[in-house]
C-alpha cells in the first residue's frame, strides 16, 4: 500500500462538501440549511484519544461533559496525569469503571512507548488500525474517529457512532432497526469522501439539537 494518504484540509474541505452536495440532495439540504459543517479536527495526541474513549457508546453531550471535567482537574491531559489520578478522582470526572481501565491502558502504552503516536501520522490506514487496536478498549470506532479527526483521512464512515447513525436515519427517513448493510449501501456513492459526508451528518445532528460541544 502506498504511504501517500489523501487527506482533507482547509484548502479543499468546502470543495469536497460541494462535490457531495451535487451527488446527494439530502446532504445538499443540510448545507443549505446550516451552512458548511465545521472542519472537525484534533491534534493526533493522547488527549484526543482520551476524548474518543469518553465518547464511546454515550451521547456527545455526556462525553464532552466528562472531558471538560477532566480538563478542569488536569489541564492538558497527559499519560502521567491520567496515571496519577485515583479511581475516585476519575469517577468524579464521569469515567465509568471500564473507561478508567481503558484510559490507564492507553496511558501506560504511551508512557512505555509501546504506542508512538507521531509514527502514525503518515502510516497507511491498516497500520494505524493495527497499532491502535492493540490497546485494550480501542476498537474500530475509536480508530475510525482518530483517522478522521486527527489524521484527516477522507473515506471513513463509522457506523459505531450513535450520532452519525441517528442523523443518517433522520435525513434518509430510515426505520429504527435498519441494517448495517443498508446504511453502508446508502453511503457507497459518497466514496471516497465518506468522512466529509459524516461531518455533514454530524452537523445536522448537532444543529438540530442545538448541542454545545466545546471541550
- The pLDDT of residue 213 is 67
Helix, strand, or coil (residue 22)? helix
Nearest-angstrom CA–CA distance, 135 and 131: 8
Q: What are phi and psi of 153, to 5 degrees?
A: -80, 145
Nearest-angstrom CA–CA distance, 93 and 71: 9
Would you kindly state where each structural domain of the chain is located, as residue ranges? 13-40+156-207, 46-150
CATH topology of domain 46-150: Endonuclease III; domain 1 (1.10.340)
- The pLDDT of residue 61 is 84
- The pLDDT of residue 215 is 56
Residues of the chain below pLDDT 70? 1-5, 213-215
The CATH code of the domain at 13-40+156-207 is 1.10.1670.40
The grid coordinates listed for 6 are 489523501
DSSP string for residues in 92-152? HTT--HHHHHHHHHHHHHHHTTSS-GGGGTTS-HHHHHHHHHTSTT--HHHHHHIIIIIS-
Assess whether the previous peptide bond of 192 is cis (omega < 30° from 0): yes
- The pLDDT of residue 70 is 98
Amino acid at each position: 500500500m502506498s504511504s501517500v494518504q489523501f487527506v482533507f484540509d482547509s484548502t479543499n474541505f468546502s470543495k469536497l462538501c460541494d462535490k457531495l452536495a451535487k451527488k446527494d440532495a439530502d446532504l445538499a439540504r443540510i448545507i443549505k440549511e446550516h451552512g458548511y459543517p465545521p472542519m472537525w479536527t484534533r491534534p493526533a495526541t493522547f488527549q484526543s484519544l482520551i476524548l474518543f474513549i469518553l465518547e464511546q457508546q454515550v451521547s456527545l453531550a455526556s462525553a464532552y461533559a466528562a472531558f471538560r471535567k477532566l480538563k478542569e482537574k488536569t489541564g492538558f491531559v497527559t499519560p502521567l496525569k491520567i496515571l496519577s489520578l485515583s479511581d475516585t478522582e476519575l469517577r468524579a470526572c464521569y469515567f465509568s469503571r471500564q473507561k478508567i481501565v481503558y484510559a490507564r491502558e492507553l496511558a501506560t502504552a504511551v508512557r512505555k512507548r509501546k504506542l508512538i503516536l507521531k509514527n502514525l501520522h503518515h502510516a497507511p490506514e491498516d497500520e494505524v488500525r493495527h497499532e491502535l487496536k492493540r490497546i485494550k478498549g480501542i476498537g474500530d470506532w475509536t480508530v475510525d474517529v482518530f483517522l478522521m479527526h486527527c489524521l484527516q483521512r477522507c473515506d471513513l464512515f463509522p457506523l459505531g457512532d450513535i450520532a452519525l447513525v441517528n442523523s443518517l436515519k433522520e435525513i434518509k427517513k430510515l426505520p429504527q432497526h435498519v441494517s448495517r448493510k443498508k446504511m453502508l449501501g446508502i453511503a457507497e456513492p459518497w466514496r471516497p469522501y465518506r468522512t466529509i459526508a459524516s461531518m455533514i451528518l454530524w452537523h445536522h445532528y448537532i444543529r438540530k439539537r442545538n448541542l454545545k460541544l466545546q471541550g
